């Protein structure tokens, strides 16, 4: 995914190949994705209580990168430009998702519990519609207490991002045009983030916080703060920070995120829905824009180093794979101890993510290798049809017919 601003300010060793729109890839932002996905993996393994906040870092990054692309696109594109944007998003997101779904459902049928299979089949149409978050909200399926039996529970965040990708480009196309596009986008993102925060605070007082945690409108605060950071007024302000101060600022922001990931105790954190998620996203947005504007900082060099950068490159597929792998493998690896079982499960997730990135994501996304011409879209369409066939042909088990002990997952 491309990043804004152009990487002409980046030192040569941190430049990446140019992608669409004439903008260059910033390795350090991939590294931030790597840290985010690592936090999520450790959280779901029960090893990092606040690691779920890595999802918010993903959201902020997405808002920043997508808004930078949209504001940097040629003006006057109209509906065709929007259609092209959505096609690129589909090419980026759908192939890996289709593969994970098509592999996960048979794997759960063979190796998982009856409850896991029943819920997988129940959730599958909503996964396909990119609306599984609203399905969970409508059914009052709390993310914090019911996900151990739902192999697609983690896909609520993918649905939120997809819905943002559908709405935000239209808003910018309608209102943020011409010479003042960045200022208008700054105003729209700022007002939208505050409205989203107000809604989260109002809904976060409920006993069941699923609505506040998984609603697109409430979680838009992180995406919109990322969008705000991509606008010229913010980037200009950051560019005025003295060069020597940027290292200290990045260190303080990164330390703040790390402390939040270690100290936050899940949904029970008293300030989580009363501004805690908002402050975390503000810190993430500031860190992202400083790293992007001043790539030579120590934080940018560290984030852009090989290990976090590679994890970031695999992060989408790794996020898709890790939870189904955890549910299937962790109960069967108890003899290895908690850390041993976690290490093996993460290793399997990494291997699956690397293979998916190399053989599915990249060929379809860049129309290369086997996916040249019409073959890539045809294969993805076939995978979608296979997923639909699995949903139609696999019988739904009766409730309570069998279980697997997954208590160790939290």
CA of residue 248 relative to chain centroid, distance: 27
Say what the pLDDT of residue 74 is: 53
Residues 6+ apart with CB under 8 A from 43: 49, 50, 51, 52, 54
In the chain, the number of structural domains is 1
2 within some domain? no
69 within some domain? yes
Kindly state the average pLDDT of the residues 112-130: 94
Q: How far apart are CA 175 and CA 49, in angstroms?
A: 41
pLDDT exceeds 60 at position 17:
no
Say what the pLDDT of residue 7 is: 34
Say what the pLDDT of residue 72 is: 84
Give the model confidence (pLDDT) of 162-216 as tens digits. Answer: 999 999 999 999 998 888 999 999 999 999 999 999 999 999 988 888 899 999 9
192 within some domain? yes
Q: Can you give the residue range of the structural domain that contains 390?
A: 7-395
Say what the pLDDT of residue 141 is: 80
406 within some domain? no
Kindly state the average pLDDT of the residues 265-284: 91
Kindly state the average pLDDT of the residues 119-134: 95
1 within some domain? no
CB 198 within 8 A of CB 221: no
Any idea which of 154-158, 165-169, 240-244 has the lowest mean pLDDT? 240-244
More confident residue, 10 or 326: 326
Cα–Cα separations (whole angstroms), residue 187 to 145, 172, 175, 181, 192: 38, 11, 11, 10, 8
Give the model confidence (pLDDT) of 287-311 as tens digits. Answer: 999 999 887 888 899 999 999 999 9
Q: Does residue 5 have a cis peptide bond before it, meaning omega lies within 30 degrees of 0?
A: yes
Strand 15-18 versus strand 24-26 pairing type: antiparallel
Q: 26 pairs with which residues across the strands? A: 15
Q: How far apart are CA 311 and CA 27, in angstroms?
A: 11
pLDDT exceeds 60 at position 20:
no
402 within some domain? no
> In the structure encoding, which two tokens stand for residue 384, read together?
């979608």
State what percent of residues in the chain have pLDDT above 70: 89
Q: How far apart are CA 19 and CA 253, in angstroms?
A: 29
Say what the pLDDT of residue 404 is: 43
Task: Please write down the long-range contacts of 200-206, taking CB distance under 8 Å and 24 or more positions apart.
Answer: 200/273, 200/277, 200/278, 201/273, 201/274, 201/275, 203/273, 204/272, 204/273, 204/274, 205/273
Residue closest to 62 by CA, chosen among 273, 384, 271, 319: 319
Q: What is the dihedral of CA 86, 132, 380, 52, to 10 degrees?
A: 80
Q: 172 pairs with which residues across the strands? A: none
Say what the pLDDT of residue 397 is: 84
Say what the pLDDT of residue 140 is: 83
Say what the pLDDT of residue 311 is: 96
403 within some domain? no
Q: How far apart are CA 358 and CA 335, in angstroms?
A: 33
112 within some domain? yes
């Amino acid at each position: 995914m491309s990043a804004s601003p152009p990487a002409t300010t980046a030192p040569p060793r941190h430049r990446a190949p140019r992608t669409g729109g004439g903008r260059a890839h910033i390795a350090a932002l991939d590294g931030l994705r790597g840290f985010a996905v690592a936090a999520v993996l450790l959280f779901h393994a029960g090893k990092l209580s606040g690691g779920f906040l890595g999802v918010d870092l993903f959201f902020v990054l997405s808002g920043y990168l997508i808004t930078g692309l949209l504001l940097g696109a040629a003006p006057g594109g109209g509906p065709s430009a929007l259609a092209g944007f959505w096609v690129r998003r589909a090419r980026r997101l759908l192939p890996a998702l289709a593969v994970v779904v098509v592999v996960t459902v048979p794997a759960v049928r063979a190796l998982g519990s009856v409850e896991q299979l029943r819920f997988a089949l129940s959730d599958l149409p909503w996964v396909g519609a990119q609306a599984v978050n609203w399905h969970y909200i409508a059914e009052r399926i709390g993310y914090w207490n019911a996900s151990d039996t739902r192999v697609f529970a983690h896909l609520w965040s993918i649905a939120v991002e997809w819905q943002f990708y559908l709405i935000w480009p239209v808003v910018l196309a309608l209102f943020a045009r011409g010479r003042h596009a960045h200022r208008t986008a700054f105003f729209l993102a700022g007002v939208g983030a505050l409205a989203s925060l107000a809604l989260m605070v109002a809904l976060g007082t409920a006993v069941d916080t699923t609505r506040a945690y998984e609603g697109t409108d409430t979680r838009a605060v992180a995406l919109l703060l990322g969008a705000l950071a991509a606008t010229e007024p913010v980037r200009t302000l950051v560019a005025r920070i003295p060069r020597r101060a940027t290292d200290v600022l990045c260190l303080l922001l990164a330390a703040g995120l790390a402390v939040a990931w270690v100290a936050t105790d899940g949904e029970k954190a008293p300030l989580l829905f009363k501004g805690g998620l908002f402050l975390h996203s503000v810190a993430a947005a500031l860190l992202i824009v400083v790293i992007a504007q001043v790539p030579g900082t120590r934080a940018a060099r560290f984030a852009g180093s090989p290990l976090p950068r590679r994890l970031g490159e695999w992060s989408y597929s790794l996020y898709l794979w890790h939870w189904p792998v955890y549910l299937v493998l962790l109960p069967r690896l108890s003899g290895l101890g908690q850390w041993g079982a976690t290490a093996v499960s993460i290793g399997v997730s990494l291997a699956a993510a690397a293979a998916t990135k190399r053989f599915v994501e990249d060929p379809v996304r860049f129309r290369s290798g086997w996916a040249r011409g019409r073959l890539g879209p045809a294969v993805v369409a076939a995978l979608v049809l296979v997923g639909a066939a699995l949903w139609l042909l696999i019988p739904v088990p009766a409730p309570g017919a069998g279980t697997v002990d997954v208590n160790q997952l939290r």
